[in-house]
Structures are given as C-alpha cells and as structure tokens.
Amino acid sequence: MLNMCRVLCFTTPLILSSFLHAETLDDALEGFDDESTPTTRSHAERGNEKKNDNSNSFTGKLTEQVAYSYNDDSPHDNISSLKSSLLLDYEHKFVNGFKFKMNGKAYYDAIYDIRGTEKYSKDERDELKSEVELFDAYLEGSLSDNLDMKLGHQVVVWGRSDTIRVTDVLNPLDNRRPAMVDIEDLRLPVAMAKFDYFVGDWRITPIAVLEQRFSKNPPSGSAFNPNPRSLPSDREYSDITPALSIGAEFSGWDVNFYASQLHNDSGYFQNGKIQHDKVKMIGTAVNILKGSWLLKSELAHFDGVKYASALDKEFKRTDILLGLEYNGIADTLISYDVALRNVHDYDKRLLHEMSELKERNYQHAFRVSSDFMNATIHANYLISLFGSKMDEGGFQRAWIKYDIADGIYANLGFVDYIGGTQRFDSVANNDMAFMDVTYSF
C-alpha cells in the first residue's frame, strides 16, 4: 500500500499535466526511433558516405552537481556530493568516409576535502573522490558496400528496454551510485571488433570482445555499501570472447537474434578474488509497432551460471521481458516493462545470496516522460520495483530538465530508495535530492 501511494503521488501530476497539454496526436513513429537498432542502407547511401570531406570536431560538457542526502549517518548526511565533471569529445572524419571518435571524462568531488578525507573509508576516497577515464575510442567505416567495421572501445546495445537488462549483456555498468541516472549513462565501453554485414533487410553482426571488463560496484564504507570490509578485486582475464547478432527491420516490426559466450559479470568469490566463469547466452528481441503503441519483448537463456552459495553446481536461467510504450499524447511517452528471471533446477541454498535469490524473480519498471514550453522543460518519472507483488524493494526517481539557453541546461530531481528485502533495506535511508547545471561547448 505504501509503495502504491508513492507511485500515485509522483505519477498523478505528470499524467494530468500530459493530458492538459495534449492537443494533437504525434505521428505514429515519433518517439520510437532507436539509434541502437541498425537500418539497412542502400548502395547509393553508402557511396555518399564515402564522399565526406576531411573534418574535425571538438566538443565538451562541463557539469556542476550538488546532492543532498536524507541519510542520518555521518559523513553521508546533508550535502553528500559537490561534484565537478568535464567531458571532452573528439571526432575526425576522413575523406574515405571512415570516422575516428574518442572521448574521456574527469571529475572531482570537493565534498571529501571540505568535510575531511579522514571521515571516509579509503576505498570510498579512492573510488569516488576523483577519476579520469577514457570512454569511447574507436574507428568505424565501410569496408565495402555491404560491410561495415567498428574497432575499439565502444558500447553495443542489445534489446530495447531503457530500464531492465535482459539481452543487453555486452557492456558492464557503473553501479557505484545506483538509480541516479538511466542505464544509457551507466554503460562502460569495452574494446570490441564489430562487423555489420547487410544482406537485403537483414544485418549480420559478428563481434569479438577483446577486453574482459566488469561492473563497478559501490566501494566499502560508502553510503550504498556500509560494510567496512574491502571488496575483493576481480580476477583478470585476457581471452577473446565471441558474440553474434542477426536482425532485420520490416514494416511495423523488427526482430533480433543474439548469441554470446562471455564472462559472467556478477561472478562469485573464490580464492581471494571475484571469479567470472564463462556463461553461454542465446536470446531474441521482437518489437511490434501498432499506431501509437509499441510492444517490446526480450528473451535470454543463460547456461553455466554459478552462485556463491552453491559453487558445486552450475545453473541455467531464463529471463523474459515484456514491455509496452504509448506515444499517443503530444510530447509524452509512457512505458511499462516487466521481467521474469527463472532459475532452473533451483537450489534452496540460493536464498542465502545477498539478493535473497528466489526461483522466480520479478522486476517492474514504469516510466513517464513529457515535454513542456516548446520542449524547454522535460519532466520525467521512473519507478522500478522487485517482486511479483512489487514488495521486494526498488527505487523511484523524478527529475526535471530545463534548457536555460543554447548549450546550458539544468537538472533538478529526487531519488527515493524503497526497502523490502535485505539488499534494499540496507540503502533505504539514502534518499536524496540533486541539482546539476551543464554547459556544452
């Protein structure tokens, strides 16, 4: 009941505002474009791409963010972050149509020096006080009229859900500050060699994953990991793993088939390190567009999964997602996704996992986005809850983006962490408000 009240409190104003501002129906396809879904290009279009002039571009973003935490435990209470971030992006287009892109990000959180670094754990200071990291760094272009190449650090998105990952397995995530931003801003680039071969309406994409990289989790002693014991490091792997995507777009629908053999991102503790055994995955995703409605579906089957509480056994798991998006209200998108993760040949020892893993595990995600004042104000709401009855924890986030001027925008939002299981109860008091201002140049 409490969760339902929270949902109504956040969603009712957004939905009512959307209807009040709705004057006409958007075009059926508007809002459903997905840059991660490749399209088939003609011979002429590919020829034109190769006639691009030699050019360079250098852009960047400077962001100042402040976060206020409702956590009562010092030093993570009150103003918990004063972060300055710089993103630099360089792009060079060659005469032959090839393109080189590279970007990197650096940040510094002044709150650690203001409050005194001695108040924070060493792991938290090392992970969250400052960082400089190279993100994308790749070369891409057409090798022939029906063959493209992309080589280097990159993000490859499988599936269409903006909130729940089912088939999207190629890139790890930065989970150190969970629920603060969407998945699209959390994916960490990985070194890959990707080729796209076009045959009619179909696209065949073999991928060689050249770098074995794993998700970043909250450091010990931080607000989202109060355990003072340092996390073990990941075991390093240097092998190359394969992945394959085959997909096509047709009138009103598209389909993709996936296969991969990757090191399991979550892993398990053994011999002083986090081990990441190889896991086989096969999956598919089908999207159907009907008027203002988009039906999404994803299916992934994993073989060879291991859990820390039952290391003598390998498990198979099947994940399925169904989603619905509605774009029939002007400047508004409403979506709901639900995922079921089913562990085959279940073992009761898995209940001792930190996530209290059950045989069937559910995740729900409801999202509303709407634009106002000639798209200068973007209002968003997202709630993600776990459990068949939505009573096993989760979070909700509401935020507004305001375009102050060309190249300058501000974000103002709030994150509410919802308890329900041991995993979420431990962070339920970390609710926070945040505001940031970004200047693009």
* All structural domains of the chain: 2-440 (2.40.160.10)
Question: What is the per-residue pLDDT for 54?
Answer: 84
Question: What is the per-residue pLDDT for 45?
Answer: 54
- Per 3-state DSSP, the chain is made up of helix, strand and coil in percentages (nearest 5) of 15, 50, 35
What pLDDT band is residue 40 in, cutting at 50, 70 and 90?
A: very low
Compute the CA torsion angle 110, 113, 115, 120 (nearest 10 deg): 100
Question: What is the per-residue pLDDT for 328?
Answer: 97
For the chain, the straight-line distance linking the first and the last C-alpha, in angstroms and rounded, comes to: 47
Mean pLDDT of 209-222: 97
Instruction: Indicate if the pLDDT at residue 21 is higher than 80.
Output: no
Can you say how many angstroms the Cα of residue 239 is from the centroid of all Cα atoms in its chain? 25
State the average pLDDT for the chain.
90
More confident residue, 198 or 72: 198
More confident residue, 112 or 5: 112
Reported as type and span, the H/E element at residue 409 is strand 408-418
Mean pLDDT of 290-317: 96
Q: Which amino acid does the sequence have at 282?
A: I
Percent of the chain with pLDDT over 70: 88
Largest CA distance in the chain: 63
Q: Which residues contact 103 (CB under 8 A, 6 or more apart)?
A: 87, 88, 89, 90, 134, 135, 136, 137
Mean pLDDT of 381-404: 97
Instruction: Indicate if the pLDDT at residue 32 is higher than 70.
Output: no
pLDDT digits (tens, 9 = 90+) for 43-70: 445 545 545 578 999 999 999 999 999 9
What pLDDT band is residue 24 in, cutting at 50, 70 and 90?
A: very low
Tell me the C-alpha to C-alpha distance, in Å, between residue 432 and each of 6, 358, 397: 15, 30, 10
Instruction: Indicate if the pLDDT at residue 1 is higher than 80.
Output: no
Question: What is the per-residue pLDDT for 422?
Answer: 87
Reported as type and span, the H/E element at residue 5 is helix 2-21
More confident residue, 194 or 19: 194
pLDDT digits (tens, 9 = 90+) for 113-148: 999 999 999 999 999 999 999 999 999 999 999 999
Pairing of strands 268-270, 202-209: unpaired
Handedness of CA 222, 225, 227, 231 (dihedral sign): negative
Mean pLDDT of 241-265: 98
Instruction: Indicate if the pLDDT at residue 185 is higher than 80.
Output: yes
What pLDDT band is residue 356 in, cutting at 50, 70 and 90?
A: confident
The rounded distance, in Å, linking the Cα atoms of 34 and 45 is 20
Phi and psi dihedrals of 276, rounded to 5? Answer: -130, 85
73 close to 66: Cβ distance less than 8 angstroms: no
Cα atoms in the Cβ-side hemisphere of radius 13 Å centred on 242: 6
Reported as type and span, the H/E element at residue 17 is helix 2-21
Reported as type and span, the H/E element at residue 402 is strand 394-405
Instruction: Indicate if the pLDDT at residue 369 is higher than 70.
Output: yes
Closest-CA residue to 428 (of 6, 82, 70): 70
What pLDDT band is residue 190 in, cutting at 50, 70 and 90?
A: very high
Mean pLDDT of 409-434: 95
Question: What is the per-residue pLDDT for 110?
Answer: 98
Q: Is the peptide bond before 226 cis (omega within 30 degrees of 0)?
A: no
Place of tokens 């075009």: 27
Instruction: Indicate if the pLDDT at residue 350 is higher than 50.
Output: yes
